[in-house]
């Protein structure tokens, strides 16, 4: 009897640091099992064998920043049955979306002596601004556990279990001492999407929002409490303008603190 | 005479996107271009106007494979501007987390990206079918490297615990000792790795490179040292810009670097090893000798052995640090901003990574310059290819393509640093 055909996985890269796709290779204990359950058909970071599409599951890393990439993402959508964005770049435009608040020509000439060689768009945009996305993973970088959850949910035909509440709730449930209450350390936990496993507070650091805004965050009230703690307008603007600056809730919070 | 073109449109098993274009006429190579098509991300531009304390977290996002290199470059530069002294115990912890990054990155490269070329597999997963033991060893070693990063940094990719002045939280002695058994196993595994890779078949290919790296009087270089080369550079890192010049070439989104008045610079394990052989830890040196490695290595295909020797070093060094460790009373010193310009240059797994910042009295970054090792090595890789391809032009395209890819992977080019890698495009008669 022939074994049933394994579903095909593809991993795609746009503007990014490669960190999110590296998370898959960082699943040292699970990698070979994953490769046993799903056919890693296209993953140029790891293999020179590139099997043609269509693909059952596509993981997309990175944001759209060039005219060519804006086209390429449509081809990928056409070849993919189920498409998941992995990480802040793909899901909300990433750190490179800081250009969206500036004049990109100025940026180009600051970095490159011959800016005419550089082909780039004015804005860095998330994948969902271009095509239909079936599922989004947050984080800069994503959590390995959540990545494995998405793959295994896909293989088992169920919805991935990735909570959409605030990091703050995850933190309290884990019984971690609140850094705001205990040390007065400012923390974006109340507005940040859960999923990282509450890393920063366990290292006596406030969350800086690398998982982006949770659903319906009250960024306004957090900004008010930061102001109450003595933060300047500029500091508040910057804290919302990092790895998820283009996510609507954070964009709103940062622009309302612009001078 | 007709020309022959060979193209590799998307170079695999490098970090990022790139392509290679080679044009040959008869048995002569006319042009070699390593094309980088990583979309520009403008880090240097948007660092302007940010707070100096944000630099380590922001610059980490340049590269998911070597975030520590960027974080360390940034913290050292900022601390030099603000003139603060770092507790020697913090200094050791920084060395330790860097060992973690070297282990993770080198093992990934040796076993998962480079070894498949030597053994004729498209990737490590296919290789695992015939060589399960080697791949399992690699995964466990890699995990131990990541374990150091996670314990000290909070996570392996973009660690959250590194800050200007030190760390947010330092581990207890006991927490660090929990790594000891794994590290001891890793050290043995690293020695086995050196043996394994030293038995591979190597192309007979040597170049008279200008090796550029750091050199420290007391130790194998990681975070600190002066800038040296085998052709005359010997200066503090603040003189980097006077020695290594950057220019922007049209076929790449990365800026290309040359040594002033000379040619390309070769960064990375071979440079470090050849200019710091005397500083290697005892077992690492021993492993190199047993592998038949000379004190200088000029064959880039043998970089896989040098990397393995550096993995032995990293495990040995990590064990030493953990043994000596004693938890500092404060995880970080308080750093007050003051106006000035400062430099950071550290040894990323694939070579020196240079940072220069200017900040104002309020600690706002006014100017930033960051040079990734791949941007510098790009010219060296093009040079290698030119010499490498000519005597091999008789090979059929497919074979030649793979060999070229391997010649590029000798450097583990990390194109996301600045850019993304390989299309091979060989035009020939
Ligand atoms: S989201 Fe962060 S970790 Fe992931 S690719 Fe983008 S910059 Fe890298
Ligand atoms: S605590 Fe916040 S900033 Fe830290 S890793 Fe988690 S989501 Fe990211």
Predicted pLDDT of residue A192: 97
Report yes or no: B69 and B376 within 8 Å, Cβ to Cβ: no
Cα-to-centroid distance, B28 and ligand 1 (Å): 42
pLDDT confidence bin for B423, thresholds 50/70/90: very low
pLDDT confidence bin for A144, thresholds 50/70/90: very high
A40–B125: do the CB atoms touch at under 8 Å? yes
The mean pLDDT value for A159-186 works out to 93
pLDDT confidence bin for B419, thresholds 50/70/90: very low
Cβ count within 10 A of residue A82: 15
The mean pLDDT value for A143-172 works out to 96
Which residues make Cβ contacts (< 8 Å) with residue A224, sequence separation at least 6?
Answer: none
Residues of chain B with pLDDT > 90, as a percent, come to 69
Q: End-to-end alpha-carbon separation of chain A, Å?
A: 70
**pLDDT (tens digit, 9 = 90+) per residue, A37-63?**
999 999 988 888 888 999 999 999 999
**pLDDT (tens digit, 9 = 90+) per residue, B304-333?**
999 999 999 999 999 999 999 999 999 999
B416–A16: do the CB atoms touch at under 8 Å? yes
- From the list A48, A141, A208, which residue is nearest B157 (CB)? A141
Predicted pLDDT of residue A106: 66
Report yes or no: B109 and B128 within 8 Å, Cβ to Cβ: no
Query: A177 at the B interface (CB within 8 A)?
Result: no
| Domain boundary assignment for chain A | 8-155, 167-255
- From the list B15, B61, B248, which residue is nearest A114 (CB)? B248
Q: By mean pLDDT, which of A89-103, A132-146, B97-111, B335-349 is the weakest?
A: A89-103
**More confident of the two residues B384 and B163:** B163
**pLDDT (tens digit, 9 = 90+) per residue, A174-188?**
999 999 989 889 999
The continuous run of DSSP H or E covering A76 comes out as: helix A67-79
- From the list A28, A44, A235, which residue is nearest B10 (CB)? A44
* Nearest in space to B210 (alpha carbons), one of B193, B232, B188, B225: B232
Predicted pLDDT of residue A2: 59
Residue B151 has pLDDT above 80, yes or no: yes
Query: B158 at the A interface (CB within 8 A)?
Result: yes
A17–B416: do the CB atoms touch at under 8 Å? yes
* Nearest in space to B40 (alpha carbons), one of A75, A117, A87: A117
- The Cα–Cα gap between B70 and B84 comes to 19
**More confident of the two residues A185 and A77:** A77
Q: Which residues in B lie closer than 8 A to residue A31 (C-beta atoms)?
A: 125, 139
Residues of chain A with pLDDT > 70, as a percent, come to 92
Q: Which long-range contacts (CB under 8 A, 24 or more apart) does B224-233 make?
A: B224/B76, B224/B346, B227/B345, B227/B352, B228/B275, B229/B259, B229/B265, B229/B275, B230/B274, B230/B275, B231/B259, B231/B262, B233/B259
Residue B348 dihedral angles phi and psi, to the nearest 5° = -65, 160
**pLDDT (tens digit, 9 = 90+) per residue, A10-20?**
999 999 999 99
A64: closest CA of chain B, how far (Å): 9
Query: B48 at the A interface (CB within 8 A)?
Result: yes
Q: With a 6 A CB cut-off, is A20 part of the ligand 1 pocket?
A: yes
Residue A109 has pLDDT above 90, yes or no: no
Given the DSSP bridges, would you call strands B18-25 and A55-61 parallel, antiparallel or unpaired?
A: unpaired
Residue B414 has pLDDT above 80, yes or no: no
pLDDT confidence bin for A122, thresholds 50/70/90: confident
**pLDDT (tens digit, 9 = 90+) per residue, B254-280?**
567 889 989 899 999 999 999 999 999
Beta bridge partners of B33: B21
The mean pLDDT value for B237-251 works out to 84
CATH top-level class for A8-155? alpha beta
- Order of strands across the sheet with A8-13? A39-42, A8-13, A55-61, A80-86, A135-137
pTM: 0.93
Query: B327 at the A interface (CB within 8 A)?
Result: no
Query: B344 at the A interface (CB within 8 A)?
Result: no
CATH superfamily of B43-418: Cytochrome-c3 Hydrogenase, chain B (1.10.645.10)
Chain A nearest-CA residue for B255 = A112
A159: closest CA of chain B, how far (Å): 26
The mean pLDDT value for A33-37 works out to 95
Predicted pLDDT of residue B421: 33
Chain A nearest-CA residue for B363 = A235
Predicted pLDDT of residue B388: 87
Q: Which of residues 218-247 of A touch B (CB under 8 A)?
A: 235, 238, 242-243
Predicted pLDDT of residue B157: 97
pLDDT confidence bin for B425, thresholds 50/70/90: very low
| Domain boundary assignment for chain B | 3-35, 43-418
A22: closest CA of chain B, how far (Å): 7
Tokens standing for residue A241 = 């303008």
Residue B407 has pLDDT above 60, yes or no: yes
pLDDT confidence bin for B374, thresholds 50/70/90: confident
A238–B11: do the CB atoms touch at under 8 Å? no
Residue B18 dihedral angles phi and psi, to the nearest 5° = -155, 170
Residue B54 has pLDDT above 50, yes or no: yes
- From the list B17, B62, B248, which residue is nearest A117 (CB)? B248
Residue B286 has pLDDT above 90, yes or no: yes
A82: closest CA of chain B, how far (Å): 23
Which residues make Cβ contacts (< 8 Å) with residue A131, sequence separation at least 6?
Answer: A73, A74, A76, A77, A83
Cβ count within 10 A of residue A4: 6
**Mean pLDDT estimate for chain B:** 90
> Which of B126, B155, B332 best probes binding to A when mutated, by most A CB atoms within 10 angstroms?
B155
- The Cα–Cα gap between A38 and A56 comes to 10
B61–A17: do the CB atoms touch at under 8 Å? yes
Report yes or no: B203 and B308 within 8 Å, Cβ to Cβ: no
Predicted pLDDT of residue B45: 87
Task: Give, in order, the Cα–Cα distances in Å from A214 to each of B116, B159, B298.
Answer: 42, 22, 53
| CB–CB contacts below 8 A, A to B | 184
Predicted pLDDT of residue B252: 58
- The Cα–Cα gap between A203 and B372 comes to 29
Q: Which of residues 56-115 of A touch B (CB under 8 A)?
A: 65-66, 69, 94-96, 98-99, 102, 104, 106-108, 110-114
* Nearest in space to B147 (alpha carbons), one of B189, B111, B104: B104
Report yes or no: A84 and A136 within 8 Å, Cβ to Cβ: yes
Residue B429 has pLDDT above 50, yes or no: no
Q: Three-class SS of residue B15?
A: strand
């Amino acid at each position: 009897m022939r074994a049933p055909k394994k579903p095909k996985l593809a991993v795609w890269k746009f503007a990014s640091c490669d960190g999110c796709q590296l998370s898959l290779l960082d699943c040292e204990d699970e990698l070979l099992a994953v490769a046993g359950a799903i056919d890693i058909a296209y993953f140029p970071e790891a293999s020179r064998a590139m099997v043609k599409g269509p693909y059952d599951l596509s993981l997309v890393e990175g944001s759209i920043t060039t005219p060519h990439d804006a086209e390429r993402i449509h081809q990928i959508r056409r070849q993919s049955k189920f498409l998941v964005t992995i990480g802040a770049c793909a899901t909300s435009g990433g750190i490179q979306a800081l250009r969206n608040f500036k004049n990109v020509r100025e940026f180009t000439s600051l970095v490159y002596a011959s800016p005419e060689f550089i082909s780039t768009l004015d804005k860095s945009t998330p994948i969902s601004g271009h095509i239909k996305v079936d599922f989004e993973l947050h984080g800069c970088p994503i959590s390995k556990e959540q990545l494995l959850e998405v793959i295994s949910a896909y293989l088992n035909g169920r919805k991935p279990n990735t909570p959409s509440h605030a990091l703050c709730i995850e933190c309290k449930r884990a019984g971690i001492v609140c850094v705001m209450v205990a040390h007065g350390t400012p923390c974006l936990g109340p507005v940040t999407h859960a999923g990282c496993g509450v890393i920063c507070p366990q290292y006596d650091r406030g969350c800086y929002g690398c998982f982006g805004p949770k659903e319906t965050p009250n960024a306004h009230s957090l900004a008010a409490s930061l102001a109450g703690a003595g933060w300047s307008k500029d500091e508040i603007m910057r804290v919302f303008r990092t790895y998820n600056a283009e996510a609507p809730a954070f964009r709103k919070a940062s622009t309302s603190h612009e001078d | 005479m007709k020309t022959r073109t060979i193209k590799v449109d998307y170079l695999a098993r490098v970090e990022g996107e790139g392509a290679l274009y080679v044009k040959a006429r008869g048995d002569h190579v006319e042009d070699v271009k390593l094309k980088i098509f990583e979309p520009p991300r403008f880090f240097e531009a948007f660092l302007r106007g940010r707070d100096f304390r944000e630099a380590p977290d922001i610059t980490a996002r340049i590269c998911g494979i070597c975030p520590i290199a960027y974080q360390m470059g940034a913290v050292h530069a900022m601390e030099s501007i603000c003139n603060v002294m770092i507790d020697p115990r913090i200094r050791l912890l920084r060395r330790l987390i860097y060992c973690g990054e070297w282990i993770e990155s080198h093992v990934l490269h040796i076993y998962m990206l480079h070894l498949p070329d030597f053994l004729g597999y498209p990737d490590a997963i296919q290789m695992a079918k015939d060589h399960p033991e080697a791949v399992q060893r690699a995964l466990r070693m890699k995990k131990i490297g990541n374990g150091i990063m996670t314990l000290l940094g909070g996570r392996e990719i973009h660690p959250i615990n590194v800050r200007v002045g030190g760390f947010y939280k330092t581990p207890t002695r006991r927490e660090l000792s929990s790594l000891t058994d794994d590290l001891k196993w890793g050290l043995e595994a690293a020695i086995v790795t050196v043996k394994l890779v030293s038995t591979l078949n190597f192309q007979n290919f040597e170049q008279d490179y200008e090796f550029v790296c750091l050199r420290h009087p007391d130790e194998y270089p990681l975070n600190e040292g002066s800038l040296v080369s085998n052709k005359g550079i010997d200066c503090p890192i603040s003189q980097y810009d006077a020695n290594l010049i950057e220019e922007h070439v049209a076929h790449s989104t990365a800026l290309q670097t040359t040594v002033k008045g000379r040619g390309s610079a070769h960064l990375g394990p071979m440079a470090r090893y050849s200019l710091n052989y005397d500083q290697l830890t005892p077992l690492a040196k021993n492993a190199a000798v047993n592998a038949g490695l000379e004190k200088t290595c000029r064959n880039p295909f043998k970089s896989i052995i040098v990397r393995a020797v550096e993995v032995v070093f990293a495990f040995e060094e990590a064990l030493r640090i953990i043994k000596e460790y004693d938890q500092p009373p404060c995880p970080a010193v308080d750093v007050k901003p003051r106006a000035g310009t400062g430099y950071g240059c550290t040894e990323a797994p694939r070579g020196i990574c240079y940072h220069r910042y200017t900040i104002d009295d309020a600690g706002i970054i006014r100017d930033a310059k960051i040079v990734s090792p791949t941007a510098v090595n790009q010219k060296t890789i093009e040079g290698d290819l030119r010499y490498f391809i000519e005597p091999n032009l008789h090979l059929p395209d497919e074979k030649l393509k793979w060999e070229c890819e391997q010649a590029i992977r000798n450097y583990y080019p990390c194109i996301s640093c600045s850019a993304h890698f390989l299309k091979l495009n060989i035009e020939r008669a």
